Amino acid sequence: MKLLITGGAGFVGSNLVRFLLRERPEVEIVNLDLLTYAGDLANLGEAEGDPRHTFVQGDICDGPLVQDLLEGVNAVLNLAAESHVDRSIRRPAPFVQTNVVGTRVLLDAAWGAGVSRFVQVSTDEVYGELPWVDPKADDPHRSRFSEGSPLRPRSPYSASKAAADLLVLSYHATYGMDVVIPRGSNNYGPNQHPEKLIPHMTTRALRGEPLPVYGDGLHVRDWVFVEDFSAGILATLERGRSGEVYNFGGNTEHTNLQVVRAILQALGRSEDLITLVPDRPGHDRRYALDCSKARGELDWEPRADFEEELARIVDRYRKHPKTGAAP
């Protein structure tokens, strides 16, 4: 199988590339990435020397380039996206251009080339926010987002991803195109961009700098290990029903304060480093995903233990403070 993976030098994309090369020996990957601030060839590691992997630097909005790369491709996996919420608040335009216009370019090219399947990798942020619930509370009736939950995005980033998802589904309804959408909760793992919560707080704590936490620090996120999400994307590609959405979360809800405190504890640093700062606009209070559809239809389960993986990540940053790279 020949795949075009866009955004394959970013955090989730590079982990997916390495995962597929390991798990599917027969796969051939063309990796298209513009290498903006979130993309780094170093993220690809051993994939760079694998003959089954070809890297192309370019923009998904470049229609002629995309058309050329689709020759012989069986499926497109679109992970190319502007993804940092704070950046989207400051400058929404690049998010609309890449996440919406770029997706349209890919869809048109894939439809014209007769590509068998289009996988639009998305996020739980398209659903908006859930009411706050204490992550430690044992409440069997606590609400979670299902695939049928309304899309109510609250930031330019999440709005651009929701628009792209709807565009993808419209190509299924209008043209009969074979599309599937995996939506992931907060990913964490190796090679994450330093602006994200875990690497940002870890590197600042190592330097003894204040750790700025938005608002009261009680915003809740469901964390999924990036390799578990990669397994979910693969399952969606291979077994997902056309026109369907599948949620992938770790069933590990934590407040931001809990995550930051765990990092400090792992590093042996004082919680006095925590500094509450004014909340960002439109900051969603809580995310949590109902993943029963993925479990039932795709036989998928998250395998990683959040506390164990977080400790490993922190330890890597302790040994390699600049990048957190594996030794």
Active-site residue set = 124-125, 157
In the block, tokens 């659903």 appear at 127
For 10-49, letters b (16+ CB in 10 Å) and e give: bbbbbbbbbbbbeebeebbbbbbbbeeebbbeebbbebee
Q: What is the DSSP letter of 100?
A: I
Main-chain dihedrals φ then ψ at residue 161, nearest 5 degrees: -70, -40
CA distances for 152 relative to 121, 145, 155, 258, angstroms: 18, 11, 10, 26
Main-chain dihedrals φ then ψ at residue 172, nearest 5 degrees: -70, -45
What CA–CA distance (Å, rounded) separates 129 from 152? 8
**Residue ranges in 207-245 assigned as alpha helix (H):** 226-239
**Which residues are CB-neighbours of 322 under 8 A, at least 6 positions away?**
none
The secondary element (H helix, E strand) that includes residue 77 is strand 75-78
**Contact (CB, 8 A) for 75 and 179:** no
